[in-house]
């Protein structure tokens, strides 16, 4: 494995930002690749990981039924006015308030989850990669209406430089010592992850 490959797969918890894209009830209920309740639980577990390691989390929403979307109920304990961004543009990296928030965090690794894989997740990943971020996508925290298209866009993200991984793998990399906090919390998240 080259040094570049080692850097690509390495993850430092002091350098990560968790991004939750378009995880809204009215949207995820259409998910076929990840059952909606499992997607909600796994993304809530990912938010718990972010909280346990004191890493920032950003929540992106889109219009739903002609009004601003809200994060899933299981995410609302982590989302607030300062870390939730409503947008009407598909690519979050074309939204000034989002790019400013990311710049202010001064971290270079994005962990991206959301719905749908084809729009919210992929465009966030590609935008991040274009801006020089390292990108990780836990596949069990992503949903889509189609396995066929989800498979293609995850391959596209990987080919562009994103690391496709799992909730359990990321969680264990971020807090590998399960004998004390935050590892104890991480172990609980891993144990409760749904496939």
User: What average pLDDT does the chain have?
Assistant: 93
The string of pLDDT tens digits covering residues 56-110 is 999 999 998 878 889 999 999 999 999 999 999 999 999 999 999 999 999 999 9
Q: Would you place residue 5 in the very low, low, confident or very high pLDDT band (cuts 50, 70, 90)? A: low
Q: Which of the listed ranges 60-64, 135-139, 189-193 does the model predict with the highest average pLDDT?
A: 135-139
What single-letter DSSP state applies at residue 61?
A: E
Q: Residue 111 forms beta bridges with which residues?
A: 18, 136
**Which token pair is 195?**
């496939």
User: The whole model's pTM is what?
Assistant: 0.94
In a domain, 1, yes or no: no
CA gap 26, 124 in Å, rounded: 20
Q: Which secondary-structure segment (H or E) carries 104?
A: helix 96-105
**Which token pair is 39?**
């997607």
**Which token pair is 108?**
């270079």
pLDDT at residue 116 in the model: 95
In a domain, 100, yes or no: yes
In a domain, 4, yes or no: no
Region 155-172: what's the mean pLDDT?
A: 96
The string of pLDDT tens digits covering residues 25-58 is 999 999 999 999 999 999 999 999 999 999 999 9
- If one counts the domains in the chain, the total is 1
Q: How long, in residues, is the chain? A: 195
In a domain, 5, yes or no: no
In a domain, 3, yes or no: no
Alpha carbon 33 to chain centroid, angstroms: 16
Is the per-residue pLDDT at 148 higher than 90?
yes
In a domain, 23, yes or no: yes
* Other beta carbons within 10 Å of 65: 6
The candidate with the shortest Cα–Cα distance to 37, out of 21, 46, 50, 25, is: 25
Q: What is the CATH number of the domain that holds 37?
A: 3.40.50.850
The string of pLDDT tens digits covering residues 111-126 is 999 999 999 999 999 9
Domain span at residue 144 reads: 12-192
In a domain, 155, yes or no: yes
Region 10-35: what's the mean pLDDT?
A: 95
**Which token pair is 76?**
């609302």
pLDDT at residue 4 in the model: 56
The CA-to-CA distance between both ends of the chain, in Å, stands at 29
In a domain, 77, yes or no: yes
pLDDT at residue 3 in the model: 57
Is the per-residue pLDDT at 161 higher than 90?
yes
């Amino acid at each position: 494995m080259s040094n570049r490959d080692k850097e690509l797969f390495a993850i430092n918890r002091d350098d990560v930002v968790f991004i939750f894209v378009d995880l809204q009830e009215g949207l995820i209920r259409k998910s076929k690749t990840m059952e909606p309740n499992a997607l909600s639980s796994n993304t809530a577990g990912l938010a718990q990981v972010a909280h346990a390691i004191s890493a920032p989390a950003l929540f992106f929403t889109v219009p739903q039924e002609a009004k601003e979307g809200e994060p899933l109920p299981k995410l609302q304990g982590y989302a607030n006015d300062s870390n939730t961004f409503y947008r009407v543009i598909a690519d979050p990296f074309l939204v000034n308030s989002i790019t400013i928030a990311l710049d202010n965090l001064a971290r270079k690794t994005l962990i991206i989850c959301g719905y749908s894989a084809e729009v919210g997740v992929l465009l966030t990943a590609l935008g991040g990669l274009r801006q020089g971020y390292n990108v990780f996508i836990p596949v069990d925290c992503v949903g889509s209406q189609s396995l066929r298209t989800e498979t293609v866009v995850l391959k596209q993200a990987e080919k562009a430089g994103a690391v496709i991984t799992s909730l359990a793998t990321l969680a264990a990399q971020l807090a590998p010592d399960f004998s004390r906090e935050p590892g104890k919390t991480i172990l609980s998240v891993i144990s409760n992850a749904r496939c």
